[in-house]
Amino acid sequence: MAVVGSVNLDLVARVERLPGPGETLTAHGVTRVPGGKGANQALAAARLGAQVRLHAAVGDDPLAGEALTLLRAGGVDLRHIRIARDAPTGTAMIQVDDDGETTIVIDAGANATLTVAPEDLDADVVLTVLEVPDEAVATAMAAPGFTVLNAAPARPVAGDVLVDVDLVCVNAAEFGALAAHADLDDLAAVAITHGAAGAELRRRGHVVATVEPPPVDAVDGTAAGDAFTAALALALATDLDDETALLRACRAGALAATRPGAQPSLPTLGEVDVP
C-alpha cells in the first residue's frame, strides 16, 4: 500500500466536555502525540498486516522526528518522506471529552507543500486524504492500483478526480459536503460512517451493506475513522465481500476508539476479523 497524506504532531487536551463559543475550560491534562490522517492510516494499515510506504512532507525541525516515531517503530517505509525547508511540521490542536468526542484544529505546515510523482505510486492500494494539496490528491487518485480517498477534512473535490476512485470514505458530515459538489451516486463505492450507529457502504448510489460496530467504552475517537478506512481499504482490495469488509472496518474503528491518541495500538488482524 502507498499512502499519500499528512504527518502532524498533535497537542491533545483532555476535557470533561467540549467548550462552547467563548468558553474557557480547565483540561485534565495535555499530551503530545504523533498524528496526521495520512500517517494515522499508514500506521493502521501496517499494524493490520500490510506493507506500507508513506509519501508525506515534514519540516526541518525537532517536531518531525517526534511525529515520525511511531511510524518508524511500526515498520512503515519512510523513504518517500520529504523535508520542507521553508515550512514547519504540521500540527493539530485536539480536544477530547470524557465521551471520546473531539474537536480538531490543524495547521498544515509542511503538509501544504507535498508533491508526489505518478511513477512513485506503483502499489496494489493507493490511499490519500484531504490534508494535502489538490495536486497530490489528484495524482494519487489517478494511480493504477485500488484507489481510496478518505475525503477528510471536508472540502470540495473536483468531479474529474473522483471519476475513477474505487472507494471514498467519509463520515456523515463529510458526505454532505462532498455531495454538494459532486454526484456521489456515480461513484464505484462510498463508505459512510455514523459514529456509534455504525456504517454503510454504497455502490453507484445503492446501499449494499450496513453494519453496527461492537459496543465499546470509547476513550478517544480521534483515530476511529482512520482505522476504519485503512481496514476497509485492505479488505475490499483483497476481494472480501461487502458486508464482511464493512464489519471488519467497523470493528477496527471501534477498537481504535478505546485507546488514546491518533495512532493507538491496534489489535491484530485476527481480533478484527470475522468468521
DSSP states of 38-82 as a string?
HHHHHHHHHHTT---EEEEEEESSHHHHHHHHHHHHTT-B-TTEE
Backbone angles phi, psi at 228, to 5 degrees: -60, -50
**Is 166 among the catalytic positions?**
no
Q: Using an 8 Å Cβ cutoff, are 258 and 266 in contact? A: no
Write the pLDDT tens digit of every residue in 32-78.
989 999 999 999 999 889 999 999 999 999 999 999 999 999 999 99
Would you put residue 144 in left (φ > 0), alpha (ψ -120 to 50) or beta?
A: alpha
| 9 known ligand binder | yes
- Would you kindly state where each structural domain of the chain is located, as residue ranges? 2-265
Q: Structure pTM? A: 0.89
pLDDT value, residue 275: 43
- In whole angstroms, what is the distance from residue 3 CA to residue 140 CA? 8
Cβ atoms within 10 Å, residue 181? 13
Beta-carbon contacts of 234 under 8 Å, excluding residues fewer than 6 positions away, are: 1, 45, 48, 49, 50, 125
| 65 known ligand binder | no
pLDDT value, residue 274: 47
| 196 known ligand binder | yes
CATH superfamily of 2-265: Ribokinase (3.40.1190.20)
Cβ atoms within 10 Å, residue 73? 10
C-alpha cell at 250: 467497523
Q: Do the bridges between strand 29-35 and strand 8-14 make them parallel or antiparallel, or are there none, so unpaired?
A: antiparallel
| 193 known ligand binder | yes
Place of cell 483483497: 238
| 36 known ligand binder | yes
pLDDT value, residue 269: 45
- In whole angstroms, what is the distance from residue 89 CA to residue 109 CA? 5
**Residues lower than pLDDT 70 in the chain:** 221-222, 260-262, 265-275
| 111 known ligand binder | no
Mapped onto helix, strand or coil, the DSSP state of residue 266 is coil
Q: DSSP letter at 163?
A: T
- In whole angstroms, what is the distance from residue 16 CA to residue 260 CA? 15
Beta-carbon contacts of 203 under 8 Å, excluding residues fewer than 6 positions away, are: 188, 189, 190, 242
Radius of gyration of the chain, Cα coordinates, nearest whole angstrom: 17
**Measured in whole angstroms, how far is the alpha carbon of residue 179 from the centre of its chain?**
19
Tell me which of 77, 97, 166, 226 is the catalytic residue: 226
